[in-house]
């Protein structure tokens, strides 16, 4: 029986501007997303029928509430395939964290089923299918460093911002993306995406750190001040800049000194248990 193993990487938003709410209820965004080395590991096997999901994470959904399941349903329906799939998910990316763990799992599932079922779908076709299931799935299929616009469907590769140290900390709260978007008011002040792209193209980590920004951050911090506390600890102990990723609540710190990052991790572990050292890729 054929078995496929896929790595499923998380992401952070180096900058996230919310432009306006569209008539369809979605929000138009302008963001730079960055793939990171923190990852889940998914193992896929064909079975006679149905979808079986197993995981080391006790609360991860095993049914149609999981994007892995939705991908299997979608591809089965689109291509008239009546085959079952068993998926074993080793979770490292925390859930409901603003790191696109679920979307990344969905992207890995699209790639795996494309191979297992010999569908011969291009990346563009996979992105089109993925967009119907989740706004972050297209980026997770592309990876790297990208300008992400619209509701997540317009992707433009930009110069890689790889090999940079990141410290991640998820506090003891979870925030749903839908809940976060309901709380925000986009406002008229825009974040300078063009300047951030220039900083990345120049490989200037200090310039990138100064330009970190997230239009969701202020309103989420008002509800959950622990996010600001984490940012303050990171910046006190050497982060060039710190920011809440996506809809939160995970905070990442950008470092140019690994020893300082390790020391900051120790300080955070005195208060939190989900603190991760990783890199941009």
Active site (catalytic) residues: 11, 136
Nearest to residue 116, comparing CAs of 150, 145, 144, 87?
A: 87
> What is the number of residues in the chain?
281
3-state SS, residue 130: helix
Cβ(180)–Cβ(247) below 8 Å: yes
**Tokens coding 164:** 């940079």
Q: Which residue has the tokens 């619209």?
A: 150
State how far the alpha carbon of 90 is from the alpha carbons of 104, 115, 171, in Å. Answer: 13, 20, 21
Cβ(116)–Cβ(44) below 8 Å: yes
Please tell me the distance from the alpha carbon of residue 132 to that of residue 115, in angstroms, as a whole number: 20
3-state SS, residue 81: coil
Cβ(262)–Cβ(167) below 8 Å: no
Please tell me the distance from the alpha carbon of residue 254 to that of residue 257, in angstroms, as a whole number: 9
Please tell me the distance from the alpha carbon of residue 260 to that of residue 248, in angstroms, as a whole number: 24
Partners of 255 in the beta sheet? Answer: 165
Cβ(102)–Cβ(134) below 8 Å: yes
């Amino acid at each position: 029986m054929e078995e496929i193993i896929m790595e499923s990487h998380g992401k952070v938003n180096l900058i996230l501007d919310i432009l306006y709410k569209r008539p369809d209820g979605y929000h138009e965004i302008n963001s730079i997303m960055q793939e990171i080395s923190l990852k889940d590991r998914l193992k896929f096997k064909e079975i006679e029928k149905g979808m079986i999901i197993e995981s080391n994470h006790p609360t991860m959904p095993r049914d149609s509430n999981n994007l892995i399941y939705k991908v299997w349903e979608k591809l089965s329906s689109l291509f008239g395939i009546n085959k079952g799939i068993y998926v074993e998910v080793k979770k490292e990316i925390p859930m409901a964290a603003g790191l696109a763990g679920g979307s990344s799992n969905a992207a890995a599932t699209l790639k795996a089923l494309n191979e297992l079922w010999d569908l011969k779908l291009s990346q563009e076709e996979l992105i089109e299918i993925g967009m119907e299931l989740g706004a972050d799935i297209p980026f997770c299929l592309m990876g790297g460093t990208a300008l992400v616009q619209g509701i997540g469907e317009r992707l433009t590769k930009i110069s890689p911002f790889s090999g940079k140290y990141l410290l991640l900390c998820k506090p003891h709260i979870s925030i749903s993306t839908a809940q976060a978007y309901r709380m925000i008011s986009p406002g008229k002040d825009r974040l300078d995406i063009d300047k951030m792209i220039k900083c990345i193209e120049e490989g200037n980590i200090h310039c990138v750190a100064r330009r970190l920004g997230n239009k969701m951050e202020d309103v989420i911090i008002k509800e959950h001040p622990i996010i600001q506390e984490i940012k303050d600890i990171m910046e006190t102990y050497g982060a060039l800049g710190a920011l809440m990723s996506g809809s939160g609540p995970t905070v990442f710190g950008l470092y140019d000194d690994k020893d300082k990052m390790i020391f900051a991790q120790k300080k955070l572990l005195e208060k939190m248990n989900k603190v991760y050292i990783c890199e941009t890729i």
